[in-house]
Chains A and B, each alone.
Chain A
Amino acid sequence: MTLINVERIKLFSTRSPYWCLIAIVVAALGFATLFGLIESGRAAITYLVLRGTSLGMSIFMVLAALSITTEYRFGTIRNTFLAAPRRPTVLLAKTVLIAVLGLVVGTIVALAAFYLAKGLAQSPLVPMELNSGDDWRQVLGYGPLFAIAGIIAVAVGAIVRQSAGAVAILLLWPLLIESLFTLIPTVGEKVGPWLPFAAADKWVAPSSSISDLFQSTNTGPTPIQGLLVFAGWALVLWLVALVLLQRRDA
């Protein structure tokens, strides 16, 4: 608990987290506004409206990765380890802080984006409602998604120990690597949907027949499987980070 507070002080005593948070809000609400206004909100469907929030998740990963890579960049990681020589607890504290922050930010931003688009859209194709559990999942699902993405980012940051490298990996991975992977014949089609970010996307994608509009094939994980796959990747990466952190010189 003490160390979580320490991580909180560290995170919020620099400027970059604030800029990242602002960028997340702008991305999420900006996208929602566009979908709400263009063509009187005809395309305002929850999944599409919240694509901006999904972009916000990438920005949140940048925030999370920077929380550890800047410590390496400026050497403060050594001050951290001098003050708390048990490194696993340091990584755990940082991860918990980022995960909780991600949960809060993801939930708030997704809800805000949803209601903003709902309020702006005058004649949506399908009314934007939060009736079924399925509807709720597509919005509130961003909370856990942000949290897990944050854990992945902290892990990657701890493994790479370099801002540019970590950010590049975290941005290129979902945007490029996974989509390129699906192009590989046979294997790509089968394995592609189980890659972390594709799987994560399933968790906030509509599961009903509407999904056929956006996805050519409906194979791959179910929403809950998607979330578990994403969490599994996070756990594996985090454990790798933990082992490296313990073994390497600070």
Chain B
Amino acid sequence: MNNTASRNQTNVSKLSRNDRLSAVLAVTLTFGAIALGLLFRQEATNQTWLFESRAAGIAARYPAGWLVDERGNYVARIRDPRARPYKTQYVISVVPVSSQSTVRNVLDSLTLQRASDLAAYRVLLVEEIATSGAARTRMRFAFVDADPNPFIQRLPVVVLGEDIIILDGNRAIVATFMADKDAYDTDHPAFERFLASLRH
């Protein structure tokens, strides 16, 4: 090879054009697939189904896959079937109010009822908020949920909740959100989207 030193030498890279294109394509393909997967995950996380009660004149969009129960003394209770240990849930109920009633009356009634039904029930905060451009009242509360089933052994769970009171003529619509204290912050944005979609 020494006799070629005086001449111009062209080093041929061992990487061919196909090798270089292949390296770019592999990276592009992987990042494309992962980006698609993340977009898909985002879409699936935010996917919603429509709940509609013609009797109560209320409609809202709730997270896909949650279960709707309309057999209690409420318009609907919508629960996440996969949540553990406490099932994150939204409850919509309607309370008749007279022209003299105030939001405070509705809140007091809820508090009295829950204080007798729920263990260690405490009201944490009551405040006026503006949601979707309308003035509403929010009450935050906490209680302890202990499963009464003696065959299920688990520790009692501290549940955090929130009521949104909407005065609507001669009725008050109460939208309630309840979740295990550890899941509360994670699940709250979905409840805000649920509230934003509420039509009455």
Q: Bound pair: A and B? A: no
Interface residue ranges, B against A (CB under 8 Å): none
A residues sitting closer than 8 Å to B (CB atoms) are none
